[in-house]
Amino acid sequence: MSATTAPSAGTAPGGPSAAVDTHCPYCALQCGMGLRPVPASAGTGADPAPGLEVVERAAFDVNRGALCGKGRTAPALLSSRVRLTGPLVRRRRGGPLEPAGWEEALDRVAGELAGVRAAHGPDAVGVFGGGGLTNEKAYALGKFARLVLGTSQIDYNGRFCMASAAAAHLRAFGLDRGMPFPLADVARTGCLVLVGSNLAETMPPALRYITELRENGGRLIVVDPRRTRTAEQADLHLAPRPGTDLALALGMLHLVVAEGRVDAGFVAERTSGWPEARAAAMAHWPELVERITGVPVPHLREAVAMFCDAESSMVLTARGPEQHSKGTDTVGAWINLCLATGRAGRPLSGYGCLTGQGNGQGGREHGQKADQLPGYRRLDDPAAREHVARVWGVDPGMLPKPGRSAYELLDALGTDVRALLLTGSNPVVSAPRAAHVEERIASLDFLAVCDVVLSETAELADVVLPVAQWAEETGTMTNLEGRVLLRRRAADPPPGVRTDLEVLGALAARLGWEKGFPADPEEVFEELRRASAGGPADYSGITYRRIAEEDGVFWPCPQEPAQNGVAGPAGGPSPAPHPGTPRLFLDRFATDDGRARFVPVAHRPPAEEPDADYPVLLTTGRVLAHYQSGAQTRRVAELNGAAPGPFVQLHPRLAERVGVAEGEPVAVVSRRGRAVAPARITPDIRPDTVFMPFHWPGAGRANTLTNPALDPASRMPEFKVCAVRVEAAGDGPGGAGR
């Protein structure tokens, strides 16, 4: 069987007991796993078709066989008892969703989208995608929006993931790849600064790199307002006030300058813009930074010494510093620290971002982000438009201009945008100011949702289309290292379920595009290769077979002449294929002059500061058992048992002031709404801060509270900090009113 042939259920390569090599459906680690058919359980009401079990895939070097509970239990989602197995249609306004056939459902979607477009123009139709879609599906969705619908109104929930880091990468390095080096390098660096990431709960298999780092004599600094399981492993834990990571990074850079630790040779030879960035940092002296952040000056000095005294050092950021209205500048400040100390563009040193969603990297590279075309080309670049239009066989003038970012698109629903096609996302739970977003979605003239389960957003739809899952379709994913991987199909989807590519092809045909939207993922990938060729994210030298043989290929990987059938010099061998690029920037940065750019930044407060009415800060995040909006993990019994509902983490002093005990209901109130969940009291959080996980709908929905204030560069909402008050919730809807 070739590398691209997908087995049917129960017929894995090598016989019925052999495992299919594939990857976990959740986070951006994309851990390797095997899937092996197992017989259905007898007499238990189990599914009639054989199921799948996870087996270890130790040869894949990202996780070496290790999996968290989410990955280990992922096959439970394949059960027809927890998933959609047929289309649902709401046949009258306000009526129930009812079972329907595919022809009726597809005709309804195509007819409604066409009707809204005809009546109100193409931009009255929106498309909202997801960071878990394969590269092929993300590519096809962007192409469908821009060609078939002719709309500029497309974005995706990956905007809520690492958009701020992406914008900072582009400003400083000229290229956005979350990590410019493999994860394996993390274990070999001398000092790691981990900013706003709780790997122990969000990416447990990656924690082994921290363990190996410490075993190799490296030092770990964790920056987090909570003492998390990851912070407990640190040599130094810095607990800044939420919303002040920018000041912290500037304070460290100030000390680097004051203590004579700048790598003047590196700065002169490989960077530009240092004088302006230096002046900005010098305005943030240590005592001022202590007042802003709450981090003592001696701890700042210790962090600088640990970072600079090591032979090599890295900074890795995650959502903690990025999900802010100043997230791009915050990441830029950490990049400036790396550049000033010569800790970028060198082996075992540099800045990287820990992408969160399964294909958050590839999802934005290939067209479902509002301002981008495949290959990470800019939609407003005439040359980029011409290249992609040529691949698609259309005039460049057909391509719309850039549209709204994710939250701005959601905020426009029901007004400028009258109809929405949504796939792979659950914004009713995951978007900021979620109650408002839910109202906007409910106000649409028409909503179609493609999903695996009946999510809270799908429950509001006029048509719900059930689509295949990770184990039922082949496709590529790009993990947080920039490694393009092949996720193989291991089973057939149930009868009544189609793939996203089949859905898009059927809709395109109904809307007048008989060709250009194949259902075969490898055929889509071959077109993606051509569309990305010559772009910043060049996949043209990557093939399905090559990914399978090499266990992933790092982009950029351009197509070499040998791959194009061109012979080498007379009498000599053909050139070898491009090896891929595990490590970026070792020779030059991706800017016009090859130099990294310092960007001067200055601290500014969050969009909301505490006041008399809202005196406490709220920050949000994930827990070990669940993923994103929880639409899938909340349907797995083992995971739900481990984390059955939301909670509010607060310090004992704050709990005493509010008058709540462990486990009692506590209300958290912001200017946007109110959420209620049991109190979880611990000294591992700052007394001025509360924490809520964001995986649940209903009364405990954390994103009811969060602030949609946007970063001016990345358009990232300020998920990570807003002003709230905390009340005992035992005496009615208004709480105790303290």
Tell which residue, 127, 139, 165, 135, has the closest CA to residue 404: 127
Q: What is the pLDDT of residues 398-415, one digit of tens each?
A: 999 999 999 999 999 999
Q: Say which residues have a Cβ less than 8 Å from residue 13's Cβ, sequence separation at least 6.
A: 1, 7, 20
Amino acid code (one letter) for 360: G
333 Cβ neighbours under 8 A, 6+ residues apart:
245, 246, 249, 250, 253, 601
Residue 418 has pLDDT above 50, yes or no: yes
Among left, alpha and beta (phi > 0; psi -120 to 50; other), residue 572 is beta
Name 420's bridge partners. Answer: 126, 447
β-strand partners of 674: 669
Residue 7 has pLDDT above 50, yes or no: no
Alpha carbons 126 and 150: distance in angstroms, whole number: 10
In the chain, domain spans: 88-160+359-476+500-522, 179-353, 616-728
What is the spatial distance between Cα 537 and Cα 558, in angstroms, rounded to a whole number? 9
For range 406-429, the mean pLDDT: 97
pLDDT per residue as tens digits for the range 279-307: 999 999 999 999 999 999 999 999 999 99
Instruction: Give the residue among 431, 516, 468, 512 at the shortest CA–CA distance from 156.
Output: 431
- Please tell me the predicted confidence (pLDDT) of residue 574: 57
Residue 736 pLDDT grade (very low, low, confident, very high; cuts 50, 70, 90): very low
Q: What is the DSSP letter of 240?
A: P
Q: Are domains 179-353 and 616-728 of this chain identical in fold? A: no
Instruction: For the chain, give the mean pLDDT.
Output: 92
Q: Which residue has the higher pLDDT, 162 or 590?
A: 590
Check pLDDT > 70 for residue 81.
yes
Task: Band the pLDDT of 38: cuts 50, 70, 90.
Answer: confident
Mean pLDDT, range 466-481, rounded to an integer: 96
Q: Name the pLDDT band for 18 (thresholds 50, 70, 90).
A: confident
Give 98-107 contacts, CB < 8 A, sequence gap 24+: 100/463, 102/496, 102/498, 102/506, 105/463, 105/465, 106/465, 106/503, 106/506, 106/507, 106/510, 107/510
Higher pLDDT, 99 or 730: 99
% of the chain residues with pLDDT over 70: 93
What distance in Å separates the CA atoms of residue 486 and residue 474, rounded to the nearest whole number?
7
Fold of 179-353: Dimethylsulfoxide Reductase; domain 2 (3.40.228)
The whole-number average pLDDT for the span 125-141 is: 96
Better-scored residue on pLDDT, 35 or 567: 35
Q: What are phi and psi of 64, to 5 degrees?
A: 50, 40
Sheet strands (E) in 123-259: 125-129, 154-156, 191-195, 219-223, 236-238
Query: Can you read off the two tokens belonging to residue 727?
Result: 């009340």
**CA-wise closest residue to 240 among 229, 221, 224:** 224
Could you give the CA distance from residue 466 to residue 102 in angstroms, rounded to a whole number?
Answer: 10
CA–CA distance, 683 with 686 (Å, rounded to integer): 7
> DSSP alpha helices (H): ranges in 675-718?
none
Structural contact between residues 82 and 95, judged by C-beta atoms closer than 8 angstroms: no
Which residues are within 8 A (CB) of 362 and not within 5 positions of it... i.e. 6 or more apart? 134, 135, 138, 476, 477, 478, 484
For residue 334, the surrounding DSSP H or E stretch is helix 327-340
**676 has which bridge partners?**
667
pLDDT at 161: 87
Q: Which amino acid is at 83?
A: R
Query: Per CATH, which fold does 616-728 belong to?
Result: Barwin-like endoglucanases (2.40.40)
Lowest model confidence (mean pLDDT) among 155-164, 185-194, 590-599:
155-164
Non-local CB neighbours of 208 within 8 Å, separated by 6+ positions: 64, 66, 187
The predicted-structure confidence for 296-347, as pLDDT tens digits, reads as follows 999 999 999 999 999 999 999 999 999 999 999 999 999 999 999 999 999 9
Res 1 pLDDT > 60:
no
Q: Where are the alpha helices (DSSP H) in 538-629?
A: 544-550
> From the CA atom positions of the chain, what is the Rg in Å?
25
Rounded Cα gap, residues 357 and 361, in angstroms = 8
The model's pLDDT over 542-570, given as tens digits with 9 standing for 90+, comes to 999 999 999 999 999 999 765 444 444 44
**SS3 call for 373:** strand
Quickly name the fold that domain 88-160+359-476+500-522 has: Rossmann fold (3.40.50)
Query: In which band, very low, low, confident or very high, does the pLDDT at 17 lie, cut at 50, 70 and 90?
Result: low
pLDDT at 470: 93
DSSP 605: -
pLDDT band at 162 (very low <50, low <70, confident <90, very high): confident
